[in-house]
């Protein structure tokens, strides 16, 4: 079987379902289901911290509603949640639009049961080849996955075998993202854009033909179709009946998605809001909308994982607080204790700390956070290029917060090298030179090598965490112009963050922290051990 939950993949459904099945029976009050917007957007641990509500997130990437149904059937065998919260995004997904893997990652992760066999039977019918042989092969490939995956050996590589996962999946199904994207627009811009589309909703083309002739025509289909897919409407009704049968109330929600409606089927508009609300009223479910029923106060520059599609950790904290408040105020639940959540809270909060570091764009706020949480970290700084050339007063103040720069400021020149090392809040080394600086620092059995070459001597910034036998390791610094910063966990020598601020540039828009694309991997490395 494939690892639907291996450490360097976003999809964590295998471990998430395993952990859910290991929870104490009838201990969960709320189950969250749906697509990746729910998976990234609602953290049960945050809701538990704030409100004492015990919940679990069983959302998966592009989760088909039929898979939601069967997963809930399985969940009701072990838990008796009073509330099931379903994200409405996939009400507008065409049934044909689901990739095969989106069903397989749920089906393969379910334990063998009557429910899984029924789900496999339904899955076997979803094929263009309706022959008995083909349907039987699809059915068998669910019950005996080796039929589907026995040729995977051709594409295996070292990382498939080399990691040692932790036994605790400590986020209760939530996928924590430390990546900072930026939405193209805000809610007001989104509504205006949608109104403009609806006023002129035909797809048009102007084509230059080979003879130089211009041809203009329109196709009949719309750029934007806000209708709930009929098959999905029926599946929502089926899910609602399953919840009623198990004495659970279905609450339909929509996690924030701020992007243009013609680009993305999960994009949200007031038109979809009204349609979804009408469906909820029709079937007797509750409906709560994060964009139009609440003031979630999203920052389009800091709260999204990507270009407005999914929330990162910052956004998820806001959404989870709103969700917890809604559940507490409307249904009076909360103030409970849960052994699973109490046991894993310290690990979760460490993860949250790392995510907060990796998202922060402001150097001054970043320095304040590192100072407040300094006990566990080693901070390495290596400069390159003319790093002092356009260093601002705020950036100097950020260095001062960390205990740096003020004592040797007068000795710095624009093209000098610069290295600093801070251990548990104490400055262990700081040097400016017109020559290359290479400093070695010992921690937890390993040597950290910090290298700076300013504009006058080579333009290089490196931080290497070497093995004790002296093997040369790859640099974990970005090597960007200006100040390169690497934050290392003292206990494990794991990189918590790698970023840089371009103090070489005159343009202030570049004077914000750029975090490594590997930041997500650094967080996963912390969660899942020594990968």
- The mean of the pLDDT values for the chain is 87
Q: By percentage, how much of the chain surpasses pLDDT 70?
A: 88
pTM: 0.87
The whole-number pLDDT of residue 423 equals 97
Please, what is the Cα angle at 309 between 308 and 313, to 5 degrees? 85
- 386, burial (CB in 10 Å: exposed 0-12, middle 13-18, buried 19+): buried
By DSSP bridging, strand 514-515 and strand 495-501 are antiparallel
Are 476 and 370 contacting, i.e. CB atoms less than 8 angstroms apart? Answer: no
| pLDDT surpassing 70 at residue 166 | no
CA dihedral 172, 175, 179, 184 (to 10 degrees): -120
Both tokens of 326, joined, read 């809604």
The whole-number pLDDT of residue 530 equals 42
Cα distances from 391 to residues 366, 505, 506, in angstroms, run 16, 9, 9
The whole-number pLDDT of residue 7 equals 45
Intra-chain end-to-end CA distance of the chain, in Å = 20
The whole-number pLDDT of residue 301 equals 87
Q: Give the Cα separation of 209 and 471 in Å (integer).
A: 62
- pLDDT for 462-509, tens place per residue? 999 986 666 678 899 999 999 999 999 998 888 999 999 999 999 888
The whole-number pLDDT of residue 12 equals 60
| pLDDT surpassing 80 at residue 209 | no
| pLDDT surpassing 50 at residue 308 | yes
| pLDDT surpassing 50 at residue 455 | yes
Q: Give the Cα separation of 69 and 235 in Å (integer).
A: 8
Choose among 18, 22, 42: nearest CA to 31.
42
Please, what is the Cα angle at 267 between 266 and 273, to 5 degrees? 95
Cα 3 from chain centre: 18
Cα distances from 387 to residues 351, 438, 444, in angstroms, run 31, 17, 31
Choose among 45, 75, 46, 77: nearest CA to 58.
75
The whole-number pLDDT of residue 228 equals 92
Q: Give the Cα separation of 175 and 396 in Å (integer).
A: 36
- pLDDT for 84-134, tens place per residue? 999 999 999 877 667 677 888 888 888 888 889 999 998 888 877 778 888
- pLDDT for 284-294, tens place per residue? 999 999 999 98
Q: Give the Cα separation of 343 and 353 in Å (integer).
A: 17
Q: How many helices (H) and strands (E) does the chain have?
A: 17, 16
Over residues 48-69, the mean pLDDT reads: 94
Cα 360 from chain centre: 15
Over residues 49-59, the mean pLDDT reads: 96
| pLDDT surpassing 80 at residue 242 | yes
Over residues 263-271, the mean pLDDT reads: 83
Q: Give the Cα separation of 423 and 421 in Å (integer).
A: 7
DSSP 439-504: EEEEETTEEEEEEEEETTTT-EEEEEEE-TT-PPPPP-S---SEEEEEEEETTT--EEEEEEE-TT
């Amino acid at each position: 079987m494939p690892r639907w939950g291996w450490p360097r993949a976003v999809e964590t459904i295998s471990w998430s379902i395993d952990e859910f099945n290991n929870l104490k029976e009838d201990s969960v009050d709320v189950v969250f289901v749906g697509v990746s917007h729910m998976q990234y957007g609602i953290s049960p641990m945050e809701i538990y911290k704030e409100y004492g509500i015990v919940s679990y997130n069983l959302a998966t990437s592009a989760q088909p509603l039929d898979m939601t149904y069967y997963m809930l059937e399985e969940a009701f065998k072990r838990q008796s949640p009073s509330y099931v919260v379903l994200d409405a995004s996939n009400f507008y997904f065409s049934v044909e639009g689901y990739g095969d893997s989106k069903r397989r990652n749920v089906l393969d992760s379910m334990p063998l049961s009557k429910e899984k066999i029924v789900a496999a039977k339904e899955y076997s019918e979803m094929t263009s080849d309706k022959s008995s042989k083909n349907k039987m092969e699809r059915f068998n490939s669910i019950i005996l996955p080796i039929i589907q995956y026995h040729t995977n050996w051709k594409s295996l590589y070292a990382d498939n075998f080399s990691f040692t996962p932790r036994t605790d999946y400590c986020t209760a199904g939530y996928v924590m993202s430390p990546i900072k994207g930026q939405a193209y627009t805000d809610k007001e811009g989104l509504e205006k854009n949608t109104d403009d589309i609806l006023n002129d909703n035909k797809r048009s083309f102007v084509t230059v033909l080979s003879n130089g002739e211009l041809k203009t025509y329109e196709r009949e289909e719309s750029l934007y179709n806000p209708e709930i897919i009929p098959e999905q409407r029926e599946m929502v009704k089926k899910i609602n009946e399953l919840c009623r049968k198990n004495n659970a109330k279905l609450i339909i929600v929509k996690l924030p998605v701020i992007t243009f409606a013609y680009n993305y089927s999960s994009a949200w508009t007031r038109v979809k809001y009204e349609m979804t609300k009408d469906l909820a009223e029709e079937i007797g479910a509750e409906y709560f909308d994060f964009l139009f029923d609440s003031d979630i106060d999203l920052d389009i520059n800091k709260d999204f994982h990507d270009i407005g599609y999914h929330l990162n950790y910052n956004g998820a904290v806001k959404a989870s607080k709103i969700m917890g408040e809604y559940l507490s105020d409307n249904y009076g639940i909360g103030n409970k204790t849960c052994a699973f959540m109490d046991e894993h809270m310290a690990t979760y909060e460490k993860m949250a700390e790392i995510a907060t570091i990796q998202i922060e764009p402001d150097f001054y706020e970043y320095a304040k956070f590192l100072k407040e949480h300094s006990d566990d970290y080693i901070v390495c700084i290596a400069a390159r290029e003319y790093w002092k050339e356009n260093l601002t007063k705020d950036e100097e103040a950020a260095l001062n917060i960390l205990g740096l720069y003020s004592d040797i400021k007068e000795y710095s020149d624009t093209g000098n090298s610069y290295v600093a090392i801070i251990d548990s809040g104490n400055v262990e080394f700081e040097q400016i030179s017109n020559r290359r600086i290479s400093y070695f620092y010992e921690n937890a059995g390993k040597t950290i090598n910090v290298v700076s070459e300013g504009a006058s001597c080579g333009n290089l910034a490196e931080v290497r965490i070497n093995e004790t036998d002296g093997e040369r390791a790859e640099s974990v610094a970005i090597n960007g112009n200006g100040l390169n910063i690497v934050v290392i966990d003292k206990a494990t020598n794991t990189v918590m963050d790698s970023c840089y601020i371009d103090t070489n540039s005159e343009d202030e828009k570049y004077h914000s922290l750029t975090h490594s694309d590997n930041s997500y991997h650094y967080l996963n490395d912390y969660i899942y051990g020594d990968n």
